Amino acid sequence: MIIKDVRVITCCPGRNFVTLKIITEDGTYGIGDATVNGRELAVETYLREHVAPCLIGRNAHDIEDIWQYLYRGVYWRRGPINMAAVAAVDMALWDIKGKVAGMPVYQLLGGKSRQSVMTYAHANGDTIENTLDMMEGFVKQGFKAIRLQCAVPGMDGTYGILGEKKDYFEMQNSRPLPPEQPWSTTKYLNNIEGLFRAARERFGDEIELMHDVHSRLTPIEAARLGKMLEPYNLFFLEDASIAENQENYKLIRQHTTIPLALGETYNTIWDCKDLIQNQWIDYIRTAATHAGGITGLRRISDFAAIYNVRTAPHGAPDLSPICFAAQAHVDIWAPNFGIQEFVGFGTETSDEVFSYDHSIKKGMIQVSDTPGLGVDFNEEAAADYPYNRSYLPVSRLEDGTLWHW
Ligand code: CS2
Ligand code: MG
């Protein structure tokens, strides 16, 4: 299975995605996702100029050796660009191995630990009522877990809701430069409890609830929020505070029993080592695309299992359907799987470019049995959607200080 060709394609069917295609001598190919939101061309260039030439002539079956070659072998370890490239190669090689074996990737990992994969949907609204109306739609579809985000009164645009358009913040429309949004911790903390109180009043105690703080609180503020939300039994509180210094979570943990989730921006097992081995978190949210592919996630998952930490992979729309497929295989295998974030398979235009054999029923992913990852990429269709520079917003405190977004 000698690698003969490596192609990198960046397209924008509704939002930007970087896709890697590895083709072997006999024409078998595998695909991987290398999207780094807002920095797509950095990873595209890295893959094309630095990684692709090193892959030609290697045996596509040597997934582990190629992973180590691209990680240890580059000297510059870790980092989002490097690790997204490693991830894309890794996914593509697992895809090829599955196709050659005639098995879905989860079988190669050791088989299923469950029949389907539980997900949580996102309800975002400009008011508590609108957020809960959106939640009702998901409850009717059968989702058993919902993340709630609500605009903060008195602030123009909040994480989850963007400005007057009230569009979902993740959708890159036309943003030639990063939009700026104000942030007030005081206003946020004065309002957030009302959202969860109203959700429990309207939907009862069985539905699982989660919330993403997007790292905007200091550790002691996060501890206060955890205590405040304890009565509403959240499944988890995500990114309550920045954890560049992982010890921040020791402080949060000392004050609250709310389950904590973190890790969507982490790139390797080393980034989550202290959080996991000190049991400062309950869910590790590393994504296949950003933490070294299926090989990276599998390693993190096994390490986390020792400390009773479960997995909850990042599933935002800036991860392509290829990442989604890769994670679905890891999710159905991982003995310590927790929950999968799910915001749909994509948009109408992205469906022209990506096709997938996975489906969702009542909030549960039915993982494909197609050999490989069960996802495909149409290069011709992608050519109709060229790259369109776009950025995530940035946050500023009301006095102008740049804040965490
Ligand atoms: C968010 C992300 O889904 C989430 O939990 O935190 O969507 C995040 O904003 C984006 O992935 C950033 O690229
Ligand atoms: Mg998040």
Strands, E, within 251-337: which ranges? 260-262, 283-284, 310-311
pLDDT the model gives residue 154: 84
Residues β-bridged to residue 10: 18
| Any atom of ligand 1 within 6 Å of the Cβ of 290 | no
CA–CA separation, 269 and 274 (whole Å): 10
pLDDT tens profile 368-382: 999 999 999 999 999
Section 314-333 average pLDDT: 97
Q: Which CATH code is given to the segment(s) 3-103?
A: 3.30.390.10
| Any atom of ligand 1 within 6 Å of the Cβ of 40 | no
Among 159, 188, 249, 356, the one annotated catalytic = 159
Section 342-348 average pLDDT: 85
Residues β-bridged to residue 262: 284
Strands, E, within 167-295: which ranges? 180-183, 208-212, 236-238, 260-262, 283-284
Residue 176 — very low, low, confident or very high, per pLDDT cuts 50/70/90?
confident
pLDDT tens profile 201-231: 999 999 999 999 999 999 999 999 999 999 9
What are the sequence ranges of the domains in the chain?
3-103, 108-372
Q: Closest Cα partner for 240 from 178, 292, 282?
A: 282
pLDDT the model gives residue 288: 98
Section 229-244 average pLDDT: 97
Atom of ligand 1 nearest to the CA of 147: 5
CA–CA separation, 273 and 88 (whole Å): 23
> Quick one: CA torsion of 50, 56, 59, 63, rounded to 10 degrees?
20
Percent of the chain scoring above 90 in pLDDT: 87
The answer to whether residue 386 scores a pLDDT higher than 90 is yes
Give the Å distance between the CA of 114 and the centre of ligand 2. 25
| Any atom of ligand 1 within 6 Å of the Cβ of 171 | no
66 versus 173: the higher-pLDDT residue is: 66
pLDDT the model gives residue 112: 98
**DSSP-assigned states of every residue in 31-53:** EEE---TT-HHHHHHIIIIIIHH
Residue 162 — very low, low, confident or very high, per pLDDT cuts 50/70/90?
low
pLDDT the model gives residue 345: 82
Give me the residue label for tokens 């200080």. 401
CA–CA separation, 399 and 184 (whole Å): 10
Atom of ligand 1 nearest to the CA of 239: 6
Lowest mean pLDDT among 126-130, 283-287, 332-336, 379-383: 126-130
Q: Which architecture does CATH list for 108-372?
A: Alpha-Beta Barrel (3.20)
| Any atom of ligand 1 within 6 Å of the Cβ of 318 | yes
The answer to whether residue 164 scores a pLDDT higher than 60 is no
Lowest mean pLDDT among 66-70, 150-154, 177-181, 278-282: 177-181
Among 214, 314, 329, 358, the one annotated catalytic = 214
Residue 160 — very low, low, confident or very high, per pLDDT cuts 50/70/90?
low
β-sheet with 394-397: strand ranges across: 180-183, 394-397, 402-403
| Any atom of ligand 1 within 6 Å of the Cβ of 405 | no
Section 141-168 average pLDDT: 78
User: Whole-number mean pLDDT of the chain?
Assistant: 94
Section 48-65 average pLDDT: 98
Specify the DSSP class assigned to residue 208.
E
The answer to whether residue 171 scores a pLDDT higher than 90 is no
CA–CA separation, 48 and 74 (whole Å): 15
pLDDT the model gives residue 223: 98
12 versus 160: the higher-pLDDT residue is: 12
Give the Å distance between the CA of 157 and the centre of ligand 1. 16
Does the active-site annotation cover 307?
Answer: no
pLDDT the model gives residue 163: 54
Strands, E, within 87-244: which ranges? 117-125, 145-150, 180-183, 208-212, 236-238
pLDDT the model gives residue 123: 93
Residues near 294 by beta carbon (within 8 Å), at least 6 away in sequence: 90, 91, 94, 105, 109, 288, 326, 329, 330
pLDDT tens profile 270-296: 999 999 999 999 999 999 999 999 999
Best residue among 235, 314, 320 to mutate for probing ligand 1, ranked by most atoms within 8 Å of CB: 314
Does the active-site annotation cover 159?
Answer: yes
Atom of ligand 1 nearest to the CA of 169: 9
CA–CA separation, 337 and 115 (whole Å): 12
pTM for this one? 0.96
Residue 161 — very low, low, confident or very high, per pLDDT cuts 50/70/90?
low
